[in-house]
Amino acid sequence: MTDAVAVTGIGVVAPCGVGKDAFWRGLLTEPSAGDRRVPNWDPQPWFNNPKEARRADPFTQYALAAAAMALEDAGDLGADPARVGVMVGTGIGGITTNESQIVVQHEKGDRRVSPFLVPMMMPNAAAAAISMRHGFQGPCEATVTACAAGTHSLGSALNVIRSGRCDVMISGGSEAPFTPTAMAGFRNMTALSGSGESRPFDQARDGFVMSEGCGILVLERLERAQERGANILALMLGAASVADAHHITAPAPGGAGAVRCMELAIQDAGLATQDITYINAHGTSTALNDAAEANAVAKVFGTPGPPVTSTKGVTGHALGAAGALEAVALVQSIQHSLIPPTFGLINPDPELPMLDYVIGEARPWTPGPAISNSFGFGGHNGSVVIGPAS
């Protein structure tokens, strides 16, 4: 616990709600089938004028909005800008801008391609935009590790504070992947659900439901947060990152990488496996991922083990933003002493270990250390351990 870092602010843009209160209500509400898009998105409240908004790809728009919410939630930081950093992960960055401008070039020629193409499509655009908007001059980086990017960003931010380099880090993940070609690619590799339903760990699961959004957390040196009287929402206790070194899309057999990742994150938090009281699973609703994760959880914690849920039953899979959205959800579970159910999970797959899935309705919970997992194409594994402030 000596290396714990305070979470003092959260901000979120998600299909089930914009803002932490709407997001929480959404996590407790059964979703409709189909893609999970942010409904009726209007970026204007977070930009000075329409031109400024048009010069930001949607994934950057989401990040600026979520960061603004998180910073407002954190209150007056009063921090030296040189000691505030930004780390925002993404899976595919500004693909909306990239794809639209490829069409422009193909149909209208080189001279019609926007001069803003490169700064809008680059994966570091979201982190850079937050840094420039708020004048933060510490490390400003983008982690691009597919579906583990948000979780990896949080782990890296935690370690920057632990190292003494920064007092505050603005960290999370953002994604806006809904382009025709991206959707076709995922569909043709049979990763997407044909039914349009996200059913993590269910025997009828048939792929993930695409999503988008952004989650941002304000992480702060614990002693500093206490000294300024901040409202400490939770503690970031530990993190880990490992590689499967196995296959570009399939997880390692038996979830071997996930096992090592969870064990290392728990060790990094200075805890034992029996200290973990809740698991926010990656739980994508794909056959291979759910099987690998369920087997990994059983190997680490035994069966039935701690309560397990996947909020992707509501949010869908937001790729590089997924881990950040789930970290926000975990912080809110701590705040509300409640674990959201895994919507879409009706009949747990009998071929998987029988874990303690939270099904049907939210479960009251006495908050304790909890782990959140993310596993990405390329064999990227990430876990973070988050616990209550007291």
Query: What would the DSSP string read from start to end of 132-159?
Result: HHHT--S-EE----GGGHHHHHHHHHHH
User: Does residue 282 have an active-site annotation?
Assistant: yes
Please give the residue range of the domain that contains residue 75.
Answer: 5-387
Does pLDDT of 194 surpass 60?
yes
From the candidates 147, 166, 214, 261, which is the catalytic residue? 147
Query: What pLDDT is stored for residue 178 in this prediction?
Result: 96
Q: Is 247 an annotated catalytic residue?
A: no
Q: What is the CATH number of the domain that holds 253?
A: 3.40.47.10
User: What is the rounded distance in angstroms from the CA atom of residue 220 to the CA atom of residue 235?
Assistant: 9
Q: Which of 16, 166, 214, 282 is catalytic?
A: 282
Confidence of residue 2 (pLDDT cuts 50, 70, 90): low
92-117 per-position pLDDT tens digit? 999 999 999 999 999 999 999 999 99
Residue in this structure with the two tokens 């982690």, named with its chain if needed:
143
pLDDT tens per residue, range 311-352: 999 999 999 999 999 999 999 999 999 999 999 999 999 999
Using the predicted structure, report yes or no on whether residue 278 has a pLDDT greater than 50. Answer: yes
Comparing CA positions, the residue from 148, 144, 36, 154 lying closest to residue 85 is 154
* pLDDT tens digits, one per residue of 233-267: 999 999 999 999 999 989 998 899 999 999 999 99
Q: What is the mean pLDDT of the chain?
A: 96
Q: Single out the catalytic residue among 152, 261, 317, 380.
A: 317
Rg (CA), the chain: 19
Whether 16 is a known active-site residue: answer no
Give yes or no for residue 371 having a pLDDT over 50. yes
pLDDT at residue 179 tops 80: yes
Give the model's pLDDT for residue 390: 81
Q: Inform me whether the pLDDT recorded for 1 exceeds 60.
A: no
In angstroms, the CA 347 to CA 362 distance is 17
pLDDT in tens, 286-303: 999 999 999 999 999 999
Given a cut of 60, whether residue 57 has pLDDT beyond it is yes
Backbone angles phi, psi at 332, to 5 degrees: -70, -35
> Are residues 386 and 333 in contact, defined by beta-carbon separation less than 8 angstroms?
no
- Decide: 10 and 215 in contact? Cβ < 8 Å: yes
pLDDT tens-place string over residues 72-88: 999 999 999 999 999 99
Domain count, the chain: 1
Whether pTM exceeds 0.85: yes
Neighbours of 284 (CB within 10 A): 27
